[in-house]
Amino acid sequence: MRRDSSTSPTLHTVIWIAIFCAGCFPQGANGGTDGGTTVGFTAPTLEVTVSGVHFGPAAPDPGAFVDLVTARDGGGKPTQSSFRLSASIGNVGCSLAFDTFGTDSNAIGVGQYTVQSMQGGSTLSGTVYPTTAESFATPEGGASCTGSTCDGSAFVLSAIDAAHATGYFSGTVAADSGAGFADVVCSFWLTTRTYTP
């Protein structure tokens, strides 16, 4: 039986597709001793995306920082963990504040978290509490989510150590002017100012 060559890929075509697609996916690199993987930015960078409109990526203005501070009991078990971020590029920026707390809580570290405001006495596993308004600035004005309006947002730390933190926040926020809602992503690679895991 003869194969119809007009519908079958040739070996040449298959090899070309394999070579082309080999560069389509980032390979990642070891992000440090915490098991994190760094994919994307490799130097201080901030990118804010609002309803599909990108601001950056660009080097953040001086003063950009990430703080991660974890308090532990006498046995070394975390009782509270706080993540703070503030960064801007010109009149565009992000400010994030998340916590975990309680005797059954985990320290914030490399991982994927769901933002959840109703926590009870201890933060639920895989979640972070939105401590203050998660706020964003753009040339058109500010936007934020607070408390339960942040629920369901994603917070991801791809890597964090004493030198840097990389990750992103993704969620829906309300314009401070009352003009409506927007989907935002704040992607970052920032210098760590305080690191007490």
pLDDT number for residue 1: 45
Q: 103 lies in a domain?
A: yes
Average pLDDT along the chain, 197 residues, taken 10 residues at a time: 45 34 31 40 95 96 98 94 98 97 92 93 93 94 96 97 98 95 97 97
Q: How confident is the model at residue 13, as a pLDDT?
A: 34
Which residue is listed with tokens 């440090």? 32
Structure tokens belonging to residue 81: 């963990």
CA gap 102, 77 in Å, rounded: 10
Q: Which tokens in the block code for residue 68?
A: 């991660």
Tokens of 46: 């901030």
The count of domains in the chain is 1
Confirm whether 29 is domain-assigned: no
Q: Quick check: 60 and 46 in contact, CB under 8 A? A: yes
The answer to whether the CB of 48 falls within 8 A of the CB of 138 is: yes
Q: What is the residue range of 158's domain?
A: 44-196
The answer to pTM > 0.85 is: no
Q: Is beta strand 45-50 parallel, antiparallel or unpaired with respect to 181-196?
A: antiparallel
C-alpha to C-alpha distance for 160 and 107, rounded to whole angstroms:
12
Residue 155 has a pLDDT of 98
30 assigned to some structural domain: no
Q: Is 53 within the bounds of a domain?
A: yes
In a domain, 57, yes or no: yes
Q: State the Cα–Cα distance between residues 127 and 148, nearest whole angstrom.
A: 13
pLDDT for the residue numbered 34: 35
95: nearest Cα among 104, 103, 86, 83: 86
Give residue 141's pLDDT.
94
Is residue 120 assigned to a domain?
yes
Does residue 130 fall inside a structural domain? Answer: yes
146 inside domain = yes
